[in-house]
Structure 1
Amino acid sequence: MAIGDLRHRITFQKFTTVVNENGFEEEAWQDYKTVWASVSNLSGREYYQAAAIQAEKTVKFLIRYIEDIDTSIRILFKDKQYNITSIDNVKYSNKYIEIKALEVESSG
């Protein structure tokens, strides 16, 4: 992979408990890590498999390997939110991670 392929900034967010300005605890999404990524839509067989379960808004992110990424985290990319559906340590080489994520529908 060429270094220029990782040209998009994505932000991982964790759902955590924070204290608001009134001193009350509330749960909210907090930025966790911002990384460079390659972003692409599904194609071929992957797209048709996603369409079979009405998950056509699935996007594939490829990032450099980092630990402690799991499906409880979401991704923020170009003002859209994505829930992680699968994580693949490519060839178990600890160099790249391929993440498939489903776009969260905005309500209202």
Structure 2
Amino acid sequence: MRAGRLKHRITIEKPELIKDEFGQPTKTWVTVCQTRAAIDPISGKEFFAAQQINNAINYKITIRYRPGIKSQFRVKYKDRTFEIHAPLNPREANRELLLMCEEHET
């Protein structure tokens, strides 16, 4: 992996349940790590939901290998949020991690 491709600074977050002031569980996002990444669009699709046009764009986000990244996590880049669908470890070499993600635009 060439380090020059990893030009975007991202934050990987995981969901965590905490109790609010009324004792009700509430989902919040906790930072797992901040790292450098390459963000590459793969495909896009447009669909209608609740009488709104929504755009879903699929991305491949490449980072250096880091154990413990799961499909329940998400990636934040500036004001954008990417849902991780699958973290892939090519050839099980533990050199890089490919995060197959989806970003929704409304």
- Give me the TM-score of the superposition, normalised by structure 1: 0.76
In structure 1, C-alpha distance between the alignment counterparts of 2:29 and 2:56, rounded to whole Å:
25
Q: Which amino acid aligns with 1:100?
A: M
Which has the larger share of strand? 2
- Is the CA contact (8 Å cut-off) linking 1:55 and 1:102 kept in structure 2? no
Task: Go from structure 1 to structure 2 and tell me whether the alpha carbon gap of 1:23 and 1:35 turns closer, same or farther (over 3 Å shift).
Answer: farther
Matched, 1:77 2:77: yes
- Is the CA contact (8 Å cut-off) linking 2:41 and 2:59 kept in structure 1? yes
| Partner residue in 2 for 1:92 | 92
Task: Go from structure 1 to structure 2 and tell me whether the alpha carbon gap of 1:55 and 1:91 turns closer, same or farther (over 3 Å shift).
Answer: farther
CA deviation string 1:49-94 (max 9, x = no partner) = x64x998501110000000001011111121111111221012110
| Partner residue in 1 for 2:39 | 39
Q: Give me the CA root mean square deviation.
A: 2.6
In structure 1, C-alpha distance between the alignment counterparts of 2:70 and 2:98, rounded to whole Å:
12
Aligned-pair identity in percent equals 23
In structure 1, C-alpha distance between the alignment counterparts of 2:64 and 2:26, rounded to whole Å:
32
Aligned residue pair count: 99
Which has the larger share of helix? 1
- Give me the TM-score of the superposition, normalised by structure 2: 0.77
In structure 1, C-alpha distance between the alignment counterparts of 2:7 and 2:19, rounded to whole Å:
35
